[in-house]
Each structure stands twice: as C-alpha cells, then as structure tokens.
Amino acid sequence: MTKYILIISFLIILSCKKNSNDNKESDYPILADNEGMLKEPEINQISNFLGKYDLLQDKGRLDEFSSMIISYTIEVKKDSIFFSGQGYKTNFRDLCSSKVDGDTLKLYYKLTIEGDEYNKVVDESLVRLYKKNNEFYVKSPVITSTTWEENVEIKIEKIE
C-alpha cells in the first residue's frame, strides 16, 4: 500500500512540474506576425510604449461588505505584449499582438495565457494606448469607465 502511495505522489509531482513550464511568457513572441501586426520597421515605434502600465478602478460598492474593484495591467516588452485584468467579474491574462497607428499602440487578442477567454470574441482592438500631455491614456471596449461606459478615454499610470 505504501508503495502505491509513493508512486502516486511521484506522478503528481511530475505532472505539477510539467504544468508549471507550460505557457511561459517567453514562449510567446509576437513581433514576427504575418497578419499586418508589428513588423521590423515598427520596432522603433514600439519603444515609445515599452514598460508596464497599471489602472486600478473602484466601481463602487456591491453591498455593505464588498466593493467592485478591478485592476488592469499592460506590459509592453520588446518581444511580447500582455494585457491582464483581475477583480470583480474579471480574470484574464492575454498575449496580444499589436499595431502602431500614428501615436497609438493598438493591442489585439492573440491568446489567453491564464484565466477566462473574455477577450477572444472582441473583433476590434482590445486596447488603444496613447500619450497625451505627458500622460498615458487607454480607450477600450474591455476597460470601462467607473460608470461602465466603453471606449472612453481613461488615464493609466506607467509604473515601469
């Protein structure tokens, strides 16, 4: 009996180690995309957006004990871009492809890395990130205002 418990424990440990290596962020480069997304001449343009952006929204109280708080993060790296959301009815971490359109970086859904596949059905860009008066803003059908309006200008903080 002890022999079987040891074998099962060993198999569980092996399966956990295998799953921990699945979906590494470095396994998902996006710059070499053949569908009109970021191409070699645009790599210099993306440098204006490199970094990590954070937005914390308090959308009010759900009841006397709970708040509706959502945190969104955009990570723009040289080889990958991630968009994530955590909080009230929100749980996703998506790999995005991108396109630079003038002074705006448009993010498009490519793959869910973790959480729910909320954004898989969004046909337009998930997020439009741009700089105005030395501050960064987003417009998105996913990130709503505190009054639940879509595609409105919302200030986002660049933290890195």
What confidence tier does 16 reach under pLDDT thresholds 50, 70, 90?
very low
Q: Which residue has the higher pLDDT, 12 or 70?
A: 70
Q: What is the structure's pLDDT at 46?
A: 83
pLDDT higher than 70, residue 146? yes
The pLDDT value given to residue 30: 47
- Please tell me the predicted confidence (pLDDT) of residue 160: 87
Please answer whether residues 78 and 20 qualify as being in contact, where contact means their C-beta atoms are separated by less than 8 angstroms: no
Beta strands in the chain (DSSP E): 51-61, 67-76, 81-87, 90-101, 104-115, 127-132, 135-139, 154-158
Res 40: pLDDT: 53
Tell me what percent of the chain is helix, strand and coil, each rounded to the nearest 5.
Answer: 25, 40, 35
> Is residue 4's pLDDT more than 80?
no
pLDDT value of residue 83: 97
The one-character DSSP state at 48 is G
Average pLDDT of the segment spanning 110-118: 95
Task: Indicate the pTM of the whole model.
Answer: 0.74
- Contacting residues for 112 by C-beta, under 8 A, at least 6 apart: 92, 93, 94, 95, 119, 120
Reply yes or no on whether the pLDDT at 43 is more than 90: no
Dihedral angle computed from the Cα positions of residues 118, 24, 39 and 133, in that order, rounded to the nearest 10 degrees = 60
Tell me, what's the pLDDT at 76? 96
Inform me whether the pLDDT recorded for 8 exceeds 70.
no
Inter-CA distances, 17 with 12, 23, 31, 67, 139, Å: 9, 13, 29, 36, 39
